[in-house]
Amino acid sequence: MRAMIGWLVGSAVMAGCGPATSARAWPEADALFHRDVRWLGGDAAYSVALGDTRTLWLFGDTFVATTERHVRSESTLVRNTVAVQRGEDPVTASIAFAWREAEDGGPASYVPEAAEHWFWPLHGIERNGVVTTFWLEEAAGGGLGFEAVGTRALRADDVTGDEPGAWTWRELELPEVSFGADDGVRIGASVLALPGFVYAYAVEEPGDHDVYLLRWSEAAFDAGDLREPQWWRDGWVPHASLSGAPAVVFGDAQTEFSVSFDAEHERFVLVQTEGFGGTTIGIRTAPRPEGPWSRRTTVFRPPESDRAGVLVYAAKAHPQLEGEGLVVTYASNATDFGVLVADETLYWPRFVRVEVGE
């Protein structure tokens, strides 16, 4: 399980240049992830707007029940699952989860493992009925027992139906990246489309979680040609002409975060967790995707952050969902796996509604 990082949602405001912000938990929406008795919790919880009130959810490690008791102690932990939500209000929406079936009939990861490597989701985007998603390739190692060793881009060309088990995915080639800490630059932490281009944020992982920005022309992206983006370096530089690292658009980020466009205020909003372990949620804003970004405003402290041995992480926004303010989720975990299996109050994505002021 990932022990990345979480963010704080309450009503505290950090002094500085960040926006005035408040937030509150939304327990009525949490029931969305409890509507399948076999799906017993997962993390990551990236979302991709599919249009027609539908949302694709991408989850990391997930407990899937294998008996009619529907408890974690009688379940399989698969590396990733997905779901399709229909309806923009998570309180009233329906949701259908999906994973593969193993040869023995048990549950298996939706995106299959590759030898000793497995895949955890990053973000993605839908364009004209086609979905492109980005995935962290993970292997055993590192201080937490896992480490990112690559990034994978997968595309499904027809996602008009609500059954992702029937979708066909193909892999797209990504650019070769030779900068950053240990060359660990992972593309797709957050993705958004603006006129003429599709933008993606790339984060150093492993490393200091510095964040870079790249973009593809709409024509290249829609054609599935992701090999030659432009990178932000005090101006846009073609990948083939890049000498050295591009600009760090912001630092002290997390492996998972979100950047979305706030049309009402004509600004971009970054949501991320702050710290490690018992964490908080922070927000930054910027006039352009490359910045300059404001200082972080701390807006909420999840109650799980006050529990010993609990990790809170993976906070991000879901701007396509209806709610008062910006709809955000975060994940919680335990340092003791036995506690996580026994305590089913943990490891469910939880909703928060955030009001981002001026």
Does residue 14 or residue 72 have the better pLDDT?
Answer: 72
Whole-angstrom CA distances from 126 to 28, 76, 269 are 28, 30, 20
Q: Which two three-digit tokens encode residue 92? A: 């009233």
pLDDT at 4 over 50: no
Nearest alpha-carbon partner for 157 in 187, 126, 135, 120: 126
Cα–Cα distance, 46 to 63 (Å, whole number)? 17
pLDDT at 98 over 50: yes
Nearest alpha-carbon partner for 130 in 96, 169, 98: 169
Phi, psi of 114 (to 5 degrees): -120, 100
Percent of the residues in the chain that have a pLDDT greater than 70, as a whole number: 94
pLDDT reported for residue 21: 79
Q: Which two three-digit tokens encode residue 312? A: 């809170």
Query: Per residue in 230-256, is it b (16+ CB within 10 Å) or e — as a string?
Result: bbbbeeebebeebeebbbbbbeebbbb
pLDDT category at 20 given cuts 50, 70, 90 is: low
Instruction: Determine the average pLDDT of the residues in 312-340.
Output: 97
Instruction: Determine the average pLDDT of the residues in 114-134.
Output: 97
Q: Are 198 and 214 in contact (CB under 8 A)?
A: no
Strand partners, 231: 214, 237
Kindly give, in sequence order, each residue whose CB lies less than 8 Å from that of residue 203, ignoring residues fewer than 6 positions away. Answer: 185, 186, 189, 209, 210, 211, 212, 253, 254, 255, 257
Cα–Cα distance, 329 to 217 (Å, whole number)? 30
Residue bearing tokens 């939304």: 26
Q: What is the pLDDT of residues 259-276, one digit of tens each?
A: 999 999 999 999 999 999
Q: Which two three-digit tokens encode residue 97? A: 């989860």
pLDDT at 2 over 90: no
Q: Are 57 and 50 in contact (CB under 8 A)?
A: no
Cα–Cα distance, 195 to 193 (Å, whole number)? 7
Q: Are 357 and 19 in contact (CB under 8 A)?
A: yes
Q: Which two three-digit tokens encode residue 13? A: 């405001």
pTM above 0.85, yes or no: yes
pLDDT at 199 over 50: yes
Q: Which residue segments constitute the domains of the chain, with CATH numbers given?
A: 21-356 (2.115.10.20)
Query: For the chain, how many helices (H) and strands (E)?
Result: 3, 26
Residues for the chain: how many in total?
358
Q: Which two three-digit tokens encode residue 334? A: 């335990």
pLDDT at 32 over 70: yes
Is residue 292 reached through a cis peptide bond, with omega within 30 degrees of 0 on the bond before it?
yes
Q: Which two three-digit tokens encode residue 78? A: 């698969």
pLDDT category at 183 given cuts 50, 70, 90 is: low
pLDDT category at 8 given cuts 50, 70, 90 is: very low
Instruction: Determine the average pLDDT of the residues in 1-23.
Output: 45
Q: What is the pLDDT of residues 64-92, one digit of tens each?
A: 999 999 999 999 999 999 999 999 999 99
Q: Looking at the chain, list the stretches that DSSP marks H as alpha helix, in order from N- to C-terminal side.
A: 27-30, 218-222, 337-342
Instruction: Determine the average pLDDT of the residues in 126-151.
Output: 93
Residue bearing tokens 């829609």: 222
Q: Are 82 and 57 in contact (CB under 8 A)?
A: yes
Q: What is the pLDDT of residues 40-69, one digit of tens each?
A: 999 999 999 999 999 999 999 999 999 999
Cα–Cα distance, 249 to 325 (Å, whole number)? 26
DSSP for 187-248, please give it: EEEEEEEETTEEEEEEEETTTT--EEEEEEEHHHHHTT--SS-EEESSSEEEGGG--S----
- In the sheet with 297-298, reading across from the earlier edge strand, the strands are 258-262, 267-274, 280-286, 297-298
